[in-house]
Amino acid sequence: MGKILVFCEHLNGKIKRSAQELLTAGKKSGNTVVAVAVGAQSPSLAAEVGKYGAQEFHVFKDPSFDQYNPELFTQMAADIIQKSGAQIVLASSSSIGKDLFPRVAARLQSGILSDCTQLTIQGDSVLATRPVYSAKCFAKMAFTDSPVQFVLMRANQLPIEESGGTAPSAQEHTVTPSTPLRTLIKEVVKGASEKLDLTEANIIVSGGRGLKEAGNFKLLQELADVLGATVGASRAVVDAGWVPHGMQVGQTGKTVAPTLYIAIGISGAIQHLAGMSGSKVIVAINNDPNAPIFQKATYGIVGDLFEVVPKLTEEFKKALHH
């Protein structure tokens, strides 16, 4: 059996759910699972990665790894992939994953499948499904003679299972850049929201033009707070300047696939549907019974959102907190 390397992102001393999913997938394939984590906290994650099936654990604990830098991370990833002898690399299709691994794949003259929604690994053969044409269709892809097979998975797509494994010892590594870095991260400006990003959220409450004005987004915020959800928006209201572009769901915004997507006052333009139709359960609330969003919805409510949404917030409060 070969080796699968899993790049584990972590936050507040815990590996992210996406990393748990990838470790589980690696473990199930029967390959040896090699976990990699970076940053000052990384050595403390050994028990966590072991719990989900990692047998080897490599860390880069130099504080320079607490902040993502494409050049530094490319060298780190290429080095550890080669040192570990892994033929398969799994990482999250996150801000870091999507930026970093195409460059690493190019350095190793290898193929990469990004933004995948399904993954099957048998021995060293990998089959992954990825949405193309903004999820209007799905491509089942395999590798052909790629030295390393890179797969970037979307979060919340795979099951997690604790394997009951013990903590592997954390092997420490360092990177000496071969050339001085030409990229410098000067500052990170925090977002307004402390909530999970749309691409990681398990529940999303999204609003469109039916809300009539920017101020009415607070109705959605109240509902989202009760549900622990992240708030999204349609292109129309982003273009109108009601909310920032980071909140846009759709073909020129974010592609999301939460367990529950609640579309409020969104008619469902094809470019919006493309970004959210992978959601497991979709609720549409709209005053127009002919709105296209109802064709994609699991549950539909025709009604005045200004009446329905506050009632819904109350009902969820009752259901979830009693």
* Distance, CA of 268 to CA of 270 (rounded, Å): 6
1 binds other proteins (CB under 8 A): no
In the complex with other proteins, the residue whose CB is nearer, 43 or 303, is: 303
| Candidate segments 25-33, 42-50, 95-103, 168-176, binder of other proteins by CB under 8 A | 95-103
Residues 222-281 interacting with other proteins (rule: CB under 8 A) = 227, 244-248, 251-253, 255, 259-260, 270-271, 274, 277-278, 280-281
Rounded CA separation 288/51 (Å): 49
Residue whose CB is less far from other proteins, 212 or 245: 245
**Contact stretch for other proteins (CB under 8 A) within 29-37, 96-104, 162-170, 212-220:** 96-104
Nearer to other proteins, 62 or 197 (CB): 197
Q: Please give the size of the binding site for other proteins, defined by CB under 8 A.
A: 100
Contacting other proteins within 48-87 (CB under 8 A): 68, 70-71, 74
Token pair for residue 44? 């403390």
Q: First CA to last CA across the chain, in angstroms?
A: 50
212 CB-near residues (< 8 Å, 6+ apart)? 265
Residue (29 or 277) nearer to other proteins, CB: 277
User: Mask: binding to other proteins, 130-159, rule CB under 8 A, as x and -?
Assistant: xxxxxxxxxxxxxxxxx-------------
* Cα 263 to Cα 260: distance, rounded to the nearest angstrom: 10
Select the residue interacting with other proteins from 113, 175, 204, 236 (CB under 8 A): 113
Contact flag: residue 170 with other proteins (CB under 8 A): no
Strands 88-92 and 149-153: parallel
Neighbours of 319 (CB within 10 A): 9
Rg of the chain's alpha carbons, rounded to an integer?
21
Site residues (CB under 8 A) for other proteins, limited to 179-218: 182-197, 199-200, 203
Please tell me whether residue 103 binds other proteins under the rule CB under 8 A.
yes
Q: Which residues on neighbouring strands pair with residue 190, listed in sequence order?
A: none
Of the candidates 142, 85, 97, the one whose C-alpha atom is nearest the C-alpha of residue 119 is 142
Coil, helix or strand for 264? strand
Q: How far apart are CA 58 and CA 170, in angstroms?
A: 6
**Which window, 19-27, 41-49, 110-118, 167-175, contacts other proteins (CB under 8 A)?**
110-118
- Selected range binding other proteins among 28-36, 41-49, 205-213, 307-315, rule: CB under 8 A: 307-315
- Which sign does the torsion angle of CA 112, 257, 219, 272 carry? positive
